Amino acid sequence: MSDNSTVLQLSPEDFSLSDYDNVRITLPEKPSISSEDVDAQLFGFVLSTGRSVNSIDDLDDEWVKGNFEGLSTIEDVRQAIVDDYERNLELEYSDMKYRACCDALVERLQGEVDEAVVASNVESMRQTNQARLEAMHMSFEQYLRDESMTPDQYEEKLAQETLYLLRLNMALDLLAPVLGIQVGNHEITEYLSSPNPQKFLEEIREKGQVEAARQAAVRVKTMRRVIDTAYVNGVIEGSASAHAGSKGSLGECPDEVPAPGPLPAPVIRNAHQCSASGSAGEDE
């Protein structure tokens, strides 16, 4: 990860929020899967195996046992299809909810982002992306080909997404104290994690980055609160804050709320999987 300790940052004194209440978003109703849809998927799988059947009724339990490990009957297969559909639907819905809440927060932010700050952060993001590509042994040219982008399109997208993230982070920074959200040292790895949490904590202590890590954790905790308490189509859905969408590709708005400064590369934990691990000293 590139050293971006000199990256220009926004000042909270230059910004405010137009509203500090629960966000209100509109999402499409979740579609349900019909028995006809299930049978169509099952029939498609049968054809992909090279077997010729006139209808699903031609399949028996022996065929299921020979083609699906752990399943015994046609009804088992149908239920597995339904479960897989609902699981994927919930992931997509969580992703839509997360992004709608982010958009709602960004829209509330009042104040202009200085172009010099944007340019400084764009350069930092460019360096970070390059480091990721090198870690994956992928050239920038290959990445552009995979994404079907020109260099100019990449730069435009990078600038747009950097501005978006700057505004989102500032909105979260302004909202957190109003909601009374704090993160103690022992909670940091509940929101920021790495393959080796203890090593991550040791590294941020050694580099004097505990406060930067705490700020990043506060942003994550605040975002979860926003999602949990959001009015969706007029009602609060309850606790479903975990954003389980797929990780964005290079240059995309990342699913995690990014940390400021040259922190070790943390991964934002799924809220349903988080558990405090390790300690970074005593709470403040």
Per-position pLDDT tens, the chain of length 284: 344 468 999 999 999 999 999 999 999 998 999 999 998 888 888 888 777 777 777 788 888 888 888 889 988 988 999 999 999 999 999 999 999 999 999 999 999 999 999 999 999 999 999 999 999 999 999 999 999 999 999 999 999 999 999 999 999 999 999 999 999 988 898 888 778 888 888 999 999 999 999 999 999 999 999 999 999 999 988 544 444 333 333 333 333 444 333 333 333 333 333 333 333 333 33
Instruction: State the Cα–Cα distance between residues 123 and 16, nearest whole angstrom.
Output: 26
